[in-house]
Structure 1
Amino acid sequence: MNQPAQAAPIKARQPTPAPVINRVMLLEGRRDATEMVFAQRDTLRLPNGLAQVINNLKKLAEGRPPSSAAGIAEVVELLESQQ
């Protein structure tokens, strides 16, 4: 086997690095999630309102950059601890 063919499988086995968390985007994600919770205060008063708000926050995090999604996840974890 030639040299490049031997090196390719070794590269494929390397673990992928964890995404770097950008502090500014983390705080923006947290702020967006907090604003969404405040905007849905009436929903929180419903019998299943907390679960609905948590579900909406998870949808908000979809497609966001990892740092922003991590900020939203912090708010979700806080709300889930209140269930």
Structure 2
Amino acid sequence: MKLSEMRRAVTDEFGEGYGAVVTRDLVLRVLGGKTAEEALAAGIAPRDVWLALCEETDVPPERRYGVGLPPPRK
């Protein structure tokens, strides 16, 4: 998962405004108490950050995988 795909997935799941709050303020226990932004800055892969966000916020498994991809080109 690319960073842009993770950002798209966050926006799709949480909305633009709340998604920014979640990535900036929510402490992710599974990532050692870092926020998503801190984890990304520390070099943690966007996919791992996305999955940690999903776990912390109880995103259903069916909405965790394959999200964030742009629509296919025609």
Same fold (TM over 0.5): no
Q: Which structure's residues are more often helix, by fraction?
A: 1
Larger radius of gyration: 1
The TM-score, its normalising length taken from structure 2, stands at 0.34
The TM-score, its normalising length taken from structure 1, stands at 0.31
